[in-house]
Structure 1
């Protein structure tokens, strides 16, 4: 399991909103090419997913709480359980665990990815703030 924590310069509600905007995940998570499904992510929301280099799979929201969001995504040979915990002072902890034969092969490429994802999340929130 990999984990990283960062304080993000945005309120918890804004952070949560970005994490629950499944259709926009490909805009800040470069592993995702396209996501299709409901516009509102709730507990159990399921999405069709396409990841680089073109694998098809699915993504599910398995925990949707005010301070915690868990997303499971999988493609053939690869499954990831990712959790985002948001504190009242906007400290975000991202943990994930991967399994499957493809995950074993890709493990070296995923070193420090929790830190990178937090930086991309923070950047996405800055972009949205500037656009508003």
Structure 2
């Protein structure tokens, strides 16, 4: 098992960040692991969303727990799976986000170097997406 953890302050309110995390079909816009996510546009606990990952692997993604500002999910492809957690906390106008994930499966040791910087990359791309959404809302 490999565990990764990172955090960031995002200049967007909690409800905006949470909304992005709960739009599974939009995850490929900011999560570098996924090329595509198919299924319902909103989060449904236990529903399996079809995914295609970098490297051409296919599998599924599912939300396991959504309780307030804590979201837990899981995705798997043959030989590899990830359990992830997102914790959101209000911070002034913005949001402090902690992202933690663990890898399991026979491909875990091979993929460790590739995932070393994924948590910060995911968070930075999520921040850019949330902050651009807020900027658009401010203009409208």
Q: How would you bin the TM-score normalised by the shorter chain?
A: over 0.9
Structure with more contact order per residue of length (Cα contacts < 8 Å, sep ≥ 6) = 2
TM-score, scaled relative to structure 1:
0.93
Deviation at 1:20, TM superposition (A): 0.5
Q: C-alpha separation between the residues in 2 aligned to 1:13 and 1:126?
A: 12
Deviation at 1:110, TM superposition (A): 0.9
1:85 corresponds to which of 84, 87, 92: 87
Runs of at least 5 residues in structure 2 that lack an aligned partner in the other structure:
none
Q: C-alpha separation between the residues in 2 aligned to 1:67 and 1:31?
A: 23
TM-score, scaled relative to structure 2:
0.88
Tell me if the contact between 2:34 and 2:52 (Cα under 8 Å) persists in the aligned partners: yes
2:133 corresponds to which of 108, 128, 131: 128
* Count of aligned residue pairs for this structure pair: 132
Q: Could you say which residue in structure 2 is the equivalent of 1:117?
A: 122
Larger radius of gyration: 2
CA RMSD between the two structures: 1.2
